[in-house]
Amino acid sequence: MDREFLIDLFADFGPVTIRKMFSGYGISADGVNFALSLRAGLFFRADETTIPDFEAEGSKPFQYATRAKTVLVNSYWELPARLFDDSAELAQWARAALAAAQRAKVKKRPKANKAASKPAKKAVKPAKASRTVTRKSSLRKRAKRKA
What pLDDT score does 129 carry?
56
C-alpha separations of 121 from 112, 113, 115, 118 in Å: 19, 16, 11, 9
What pLDDT score does 21 carry?
87
Cβ neighbours, 10 Å, residue 104: 16
In which band, very low, low, confident or very high, does the pLDDT at 39 lie, cut at 50, 70 and 90? Answer: confident
∠ Cα 18 78 54 (to 5°): 125
How confident is the model over 86-94, as a mean pLDDT? 95
Q: For residues 56 and 24, what is the distance between their CA atoms, to the nearest angstrom? A: 26
Model pTM score? 0.70
CB 99 within 8 A of CB 32: no
**Per-residue pLDDT at 76 exceeds 80:** yes
The conformation of residue 83, written as its DSSP 8-state character, comes to: G
Q: Where are the domains of the chain?
A: 3-107
Q: For the chain, what is the radius of gyration of the CA atoms?
A: 31
Residue type, 87: S
Fold of 3-107: Yope Regulator; Chain: A, (3.30.1460)
